[in-house]
Amino acid sequence: DSGVTQTPKHLITATGQRVTLRCSPRSGDLSVYWYQQSLDQGLQFLIQYYNGEERAKGNILERFSAQQFPDLHSELNLSSLELGDSALYFCASSAQGLLHFGNGTRLTVT
Amino acid sequence: AQSVAQPEDQVNVAEGNPLTVKCTYSVSGNPYLFWYVQYPNRGLQFLLKYITGDNLVKGSYGFEAEFNKSQTSFHLKKPSALVSDSALYFCAVRDINFGNEKLTFGTGTRLTIIP
């Protein structure tokens, strides 16, 4: 168990809808990273937060947004969903140069 | 930009044989390199890392990796494969910016160990 918790495990929704994915980092970790894993594009970095502030941005669509709250948990919001957004979304937190990953949220857009 | 490449999408090895999963890197400066493994319906698990020092790095579950600067490679190896080693393996390189531990991953190699 990595200590990183992601909810929900599975999410099925329709095109055009909006969903929120939640991540609780390991106790004491200040950084949270979001990654998207799809069949055709591998593991893509989306965004990083450090202690509530955005630290780095990757290939994140404008329809997606994230935030990190004072208790350090993070949420990834995906809106105007398209079929191509179906993927596994991972959250990771870091300590001493290592990323620790949650088990992911599998999003299916129908 | 930092990047890693995994030239093989799929590697099949007979149980008991040695295995190698290949990774090459492209970085400016000294590389910080990692291997992660992903089992079905699970997140990525850390196997080993190279930061500096000995070119042969030992990690979890009997895996090791050899850092080769002249060939810009960081291949993952194990002397004797187990069926339970079947999984998806990712090589990764760390961002060089201070305070940022973001990893850039390769496309992954699916390792299948044949009984």
Question: For A46-85, what is each residue's pLDDT tens digit?
Answer: 999 999 999 999 989 999 999 999 999 999 999 999 999 9
| pLDDT of res. B34 | 96
B41: left (phi over 0), alpha (psi -120 to 50) or beta: left
Q: Does A30 contact B at CB distance below 8 Å?
A: no
Q: Does A105 contact B at CB distance below 8 Å?
A: no
Q: Does B106 contact A at CB distance below 8 Å?
A: yes
Mean pLDDT across chain B, nearest whole number? Answer: 93
SS (H, E, C) chain A: CCCCEEECCEEEECCCCCEEEEEECCCCCCEEEEEEEECCCEEEEEEEEECCEEEEECCCCCCEEEEECCCCCEEEEECCCCHHHCEEEEEEEEECCEEEECCCEEEEEC
A 73-102 residues with CB < 8 A to B = 90, 92, 94, 97-102
Mean pLDDT across chain A, nearest whole number? Answer: 94
Residues of chain A in contact with residue B101, where contact means CB-CB under 8 angstroms, are 31, 94, 97-99
| pLDDT of res. A17 | 98
Contact call for B101 and A99, based on CB within 8 A: yes
Among candidates A42, A48, A56 on the partner chain, residue whose Cβ is nearest the Cβ of B105: A42
DSSP state of B30: S
Q: How far is B106 from chain A (nearest CA, A)?
A: 8
| pLDDT of res. A98 | 87
| pLDDT of res. B99 | 60
Instruction: Compare A19 and B54 and report the one with higher pLDDT.
Output: A19
Condensed to tens digits (0 to 9), the pLDDT of residues B71-114 reads: 999 999 999 999 999 999 999 999 766 566 789 999 999 999 99
| pLDDT of res. A92 | 96
Statement: residue A105 has pLDDT above 90: yes
Please give the residue of chain B at the shortest CA–CA distance from A51. Answer: B99
State what percent of residues in chain A have pLDDT above 90. Answer: 86
Residues of chain B in contact with residue A35, where contact means CB-CB under 8 angstroms, are 105
